[in-house]
Structure 1
Amino acid sequence: MNSIGFFTPSPFSDNLERLHALSHLSKNEWLDLLGLSWKKYYQYKVGLADFPTSSLNEISKYFSIAEDALVQGELNFSELEARLSSKDELPEKYTIGAYGRRRTPITSIEYLEKAFGWRLKYDVLNHFQMSAATLQDPFATISIQMITDMAEYLKKRQFKANDFFRMGVYSAEGNRYGLIGKIYSEMENLEQVYNIFLNKMIFMFEKNCTYNYEQVTKTSGLLVMKSCPDIASELKVKYLGSESICELKAGLLASLPSYMGLNNAKIIHFTCEHRGDDACRFHVDQMNCSPLSSD
């Protein structure tokens, strides 16, 4: 049998496992596609055998991918995910009280892949019975309960407050080259960025909470955020979101200066509805938002 010399661990082996995950084929169906026994496949995965060219050909045909692209690892997984996803509808529970946009879930899922790899991303999507195609349109509506449930699931996977904060910071990377990034980058100063985003633009993206931002000094501001009672009642919760979601929002707040080429702000989340306070309050310290290094 002809074969190609790939041994585990290798980018090819990792891509092969990712294609299996994308295919939604069972283990036996996957082995049937490859034309391999479990033993032969295991031998390949542990580096005791080469990968048969006949199996490569079957993968190429099944996914409509050129064999050269498979061998060289030149795969556009975003395109593959959109093309192969069997469903693009939200689970029904996340269509109830859908007063937010999918932008934050999209950048949060992107962050999981960037920081922890595709396996965690697919694990989360599968757990919530969603596909990558569900999170393609950033302006499509979604319930805040989806990102809240995702955060709770990740907490069970040992995610801490800092992980959710970094997830929020990453939102700037996901939005930097879009219309939002362009608008923020052209603003005159940080006071304008925070005022316009939190007192005007935020309602384009979600209507789950009320936001009141005040620039207290030239280098600091205060955000007061409260759940909308009617939406909380619709979702049958006392408060919308969770402490983890507040940490994610703190990261988002910290990242706003980066649109202007500045270092992140320091955020202190000092009261929280989810801890029994009357509102969630964030102190925004812009003192050290110096220009980002070009290194």
Structure 2
Amino acid sequence: MHLPPEPHGQLKSARFPQPVEDTLERIRRAAELAGDDWLQVLGLTEKQYLRLLIERVPLAARTVESVAARFGLSFESVMRGDVDYAALSAREKGDHDPLPARFSVGAFSRRRTSIHLLDYVELNHGWRTRSRILRHFQMSEALFKDPDQSININFVTELCEYLSKSGCSTDVMKSMGEHSFVANRKTPLGRLLRSYGTSRMLHEHVFTELISPYFDKNCIYQLVEISDHHCVVTARPSTEVQDELMQKVIGSTHVCSAKVGSFQSLSGYLGLPFSKVTETDCVHSGAGVCRFHFDFQGRAGLSRPGPHLASA
């Protein structure tokens, strides 16, 4: 994964649509800071600040870095003027768990998916990378303490897009999805999934009873066929979600790749090797539904999950 480098030196703001000075002023007003408190955030003396205002001297990158660090933002978001000022103001007034507006409308997803994707990033790339990603989205760790809280699918969609642009391949997206087993196996949900004696029973219950309350209400899932070693599941976008979000396209090919990984990991709850799941049709490629084919072992206790989980 190759994240954007940290900035240094003076700013070259030609590629940014809004003067960064305007963004800093909006941040100051949203935070209701003035005088010495604001100077401390900027890391400037009063004389330096006056020169900045009156003489329009070039703004040093370290000043923007200081502001970004203080308010849990990324350097790039400050430079672009892409700041959720309402959420920033709420945090400053004591609400440390404000969900950005673009992720709160049409919140039909559980946060457990977001949590296991972020956990995978931390496990494989370190906590600093996880922290930078959260700052990019102007979100705090507090938002991901409860896996049963709601969030809309656009967060996972944007997260997967961000990771893809940072170098994550389709196979990595699937591995991120598989990490759901590691994240959930010791939870009440994990214990429930372990209670089913066969793969057939497990997949039947997941896709007829559990998928909506525990995982995903963004799609309507249908178990088309099932046997002791195979099943076929279709998923189509929920019209209710489309109406709430006012968008026809729900998710992305990257989200589907992560979903394949999550589906593959289901057999792991029974002590079996992960299933082989293939998406043969996808709405993001023009199909009417996403179609997933599962191949799995039948009974629990035959073997243990694959060795790729040993480091988790």
Contact conserved, 2:200 with 2:227, CA < 8 A, in 1?
Answer: no
TM-score (normalizing by structure 2) = 0.65
- 2:36 corresponds to: none
Separation in 1 of the partners of 2:271 and 2:42? 48
| TM-score scaled by length of structure 1 | 0.69
**Deviations, residues 102-136 of structure 1 (Å, cap 9, x unaligned):** 11101111111001111221111000000111111
User: 1 CA distance for matches of 2:249 and 2:204?
Assistant: 25
State how far apart, in whole Å, the 1-side matches of 2:207 and 2:227 are.
17
SS in 2 for 1:97: coil
Equivalent-residue separation in structure 2 for 1:278 and 1:249 (angstroms):
18
Q: Percent identity?
A: 30
Q: Distance in 2 between matches of 1:209 and 1:139?
A: 17
1:25-74 CA-to-partner distances (Å, cap 9, x unmatched) read 97969xxxxxxxxxxxxxxxxxxxxxxxxxxxxxxxxxxxxxxxxxxxxx
Match of 1:234 among 244, 257, 262: 244
8 Å Cα contact 1:86/1:131 also seen in 2: no
**1:263, 1:288 within 8 Å by CA — same for their partners in 2?**
no
User: In the TM superposition, what whole-angstrom CA distance separates every residue of 1:7-28 from its partner, at most 9, and x where no partner exists?
Assistant: xxxxxxxxxxxxxxxxxx9796
User: Residue in 1 aligned with 2:179?
Assistant: 170
Pair 1:204–1:288, CA change in 2 (3 A): closer
2:304 is equivalent to residue 292 of structure 1: yes
User: Quick one: which amino acid aligns to residue 89 of structure 1?
Assistant: P
Please say if residues 200 and 298 of structure 2, whose CA atoms lie closer than 8 Å, have aligned partners that are also in contact: no
Matched, 1:280 2:290: yes
- Whole-angstrom CA distance in 1 between matches of 2:203 and 2:153: 22
| SS of the residue 2:251 aligns to | coil
- 8 A contact 2:279–2:291 mirrored in 1: yes
Note the C-alpha offset of 1:215: 4.1
Q: What RMSD, in angstroms, separates the aligned Cα atoms of the two structures?
A: 2.3
CA distance in 2, matches of 1:200, 1:114: 31
Assess if the C-alpha contact under 8 Å between 1:265 and 1:288 holds in 2: no
For 2:203 and 2:227, the matched residues in 1 are separated by: 13
Tell me, which stretches of 5 or more residues in structure 1 are unaligned? 1-24, 30-84
Is the 1:87–1:130 Cα contact (8 Å) retained in structure 2? no
Deviations 1:63-86 (A, max 9, x none): xxxxxxxxxxxxxxxxxxxxxx98
Q: 1:243: how far off?
A: 0.6
- State the distance in 2 between where 1:171 and 1:208 align: 18
Q: Secondary structure at the match of 2:234?
A: strand
Tell me, yes or no, if structure 1 residue 96 matches structure 2 residue 108: no
Structure 1 residue 224: Cα displacement: 0.3
Number of aligned positions between the proteins: 216
For residues 189-268 of structure 1, the aligned pairs below 5 Å read 189-205=198-214, 206-268=216-278
Alignment equivalent of 1:146, drawn from 147, 155, 176? 155
- 1:213 Cα deviation from its structure 2 partner: 1.6
Distance 1:27 1:120 in 2: 24
Q: Distance in 2 between matches of 1:274 and 1:149?
A: 15
Q: 1:185 to 1:28 in 2, by over 3 A?
A: same
Aligned partner of residue 291 in structure 1, secondary structure: coil
Q: Which moved more, 1:204-213 or 1:260-269?
A: 204-213
Deviation at 1:195, TM superposition (A): 0.9
Measure the CA separation in 1 of the matches of 2:171 and 2:155.
20
